[in-house]
């Protein structure tokens, strides 16, 4: 049985590190990520690894050939830095020249306007564009939270799989070398944060399948979700369902095999066209 005092000490240490960032940020560079100096044509993407919202933006820039560099954010440790720089607490956000843009929907729209090649919207068709924006919003506000909650519930019930999954590698040796001690704490915290219990599993599985059925219907005899070209709707949904690759309920179901094949096609179309150096702490 895991030593409760050790768990308490480790949990307290993580909380102390996060809380101390406010006080120590000017003395210790640990609490601020390394930010590269870039030219006026290069975008800085502040991201959390494995976030579908962040991957959505990186794929937008890859598809459009926008030069960019990424800065990896550790939410707990860099929380004060994020709030100080972006005036809010979430990633992704980007810095382009002197502008800070937050929220993946706003960022995608800004990038498409500033870099109009390979547009991800239907500027000349308002009806199609409404569908694009509705699907992007549906993906961000319903599909991602549903799959996220199901994933955390799945890992909560299969904690050894969570310990072995790279999803929970954060780049901090104290954490990464003691995942077997930290992961149970993290998963319990996520369950409380999203108000999840094992009783929610069947409802979440049904809701996830309902979402995937919608995607199947939209893709019936179609290469893209809206119209005849790649749009932000495709990128949003394709990055969202990456979460489902960690959930056997969906990923191993032959009914949805074509959805994941479609995702691979979208990812092939949005492969990186310019080098983006990842800046680590």
CA distances (Å), origin 86, targets 81, 108, 141, 210: 8, 17, 21, 36
Report pLDDT for 30.
Answer: 54
Where do the domains of the chain lie? 31-118+272-279, 126-269
Determine what percent of the chain is predicted with pLDDT higher than 90.
71
2 has pLDDT over 50: no
Cβ-Cβ contacts under 8 Å for 225 (sequence gap 6 or more): 135, 215, 218, 219, 231, 233, 234, 237
Of 215, 190, 223, 209, whose CA–CA distance to 139 is shortest?
215
Residue 100 φ then ψ, to 5°: -110, 125
Rounded Cα distance between 6 and 10, Å, is 6
Report pLDDT for 172.
Answer: 75
Report pLDDT for 221.
Answer: 93
Q: How many C-beta atoms lie closer than 10 Å to residue 198's C-beta?
A: 10
Determine what percent of the chain is predicted with pLDDT higher than 70.
86
Cβ-Cβ contacts under 8 Å for 36 (sequence gap 6 or more): 44, 69, 71, 277, 279
Q: Assign 169 a pLDDT band (cuts: 50, 70, 90).
A: confident
**Summary mean pLDDT of the chain:** 87
- Indicate if 126-269 has the same CATH topology as 31-118+272-279: no
Burial grade of 162 (CB within 10 A; 0-12, 13-18, 19 or more): buried
Residue 64 φ then ψ, to 5°: -90, -5
Q: Which tokens go with 29?
A: 């560079």
Q: What pLDDT, in 10s, does the model give residues 205-246? A: 999 999 999 999 999 999 999 999 999 999 999 999 999 999
Domain 126-269 CATH (choose: 3.40.190.10, 3.90.76.10, 3.65.10.10, 1.20.1050.10) = 1.20.1050.10
**130-157 average pLDDT score:** 97
**138-155 average pLDDT score:** 97
Q: What pLDDT, in 10s, does the model give residues 30-80? A: 578 889 999 999 999 999 988 999 999 999 999 999 999 999 998 777 888
Q: Assign 273 a pLDDT band (cuts: 50, 70, 90).
A: low
Please give the model's pTM, rounded to 2 decimal places: 0.85
Architecture of domain 31-118+272-279: 3-Layer(aba) Sandwich (3.40)
Report pLDDT for 49.
Answer: 84
């Amino acid at each position: 049985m895991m030593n409760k005092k050790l768990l308490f000490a480790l949990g307290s240490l993580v909380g102390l590190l996060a809380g101390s960032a406010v006080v120590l940020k000017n003395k210790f560079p640990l609490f601020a990520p390394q930010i590269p100096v870039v030219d006026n044509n290069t975008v800085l993407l502040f991201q959390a690894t494995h976030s579908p919202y962040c991957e959505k933006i990186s794929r937008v820039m890859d598809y459009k050939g926008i030069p960019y560099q990424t800065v990896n954010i550790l939410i707990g440790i860099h929380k004060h830095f994020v709030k100080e720089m972006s005036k809010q607490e979430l990633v992704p956000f980007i810095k382009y020249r002197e502008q800070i843009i937050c929220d993946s929907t706003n960022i995608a729209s800004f990038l498409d306007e500033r870099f109009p090649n390979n547009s991800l919207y239907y500027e000349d068709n308002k009806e199609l564009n409404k569908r694009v924006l509705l699907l992007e919003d549906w993906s961000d506000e319903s599909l991602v939270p549903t799959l996220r909650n199901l994933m955390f519930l799945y890992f909560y019930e299969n904690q050894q799989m969570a310990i072995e999954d790279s999803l929970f590698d954060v780049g901090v040796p104290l954490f990464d070398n003691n995942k077997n001690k930290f992961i149970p704490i993290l998963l319990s915290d996520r369950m409380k944060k999203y108000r999840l219990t094992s009783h929610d599993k069947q409802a979440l599985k049904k809701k996830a399948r309902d979402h995937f059925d919608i995607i199947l219907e939209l893709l019936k005899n179609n290469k893209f979700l809206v119209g005849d070209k790649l749009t932000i709707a495709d990128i949003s949904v394709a990055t969202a369902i990456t979460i489902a690759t960690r959930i056997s309920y969906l990923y191993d179901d032959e009914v949805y095999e074509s959805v994941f094949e479609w995702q691979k096609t979208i990812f092939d179309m949005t492969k990186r066209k310019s080098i983006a150096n990842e800046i680590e702490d």
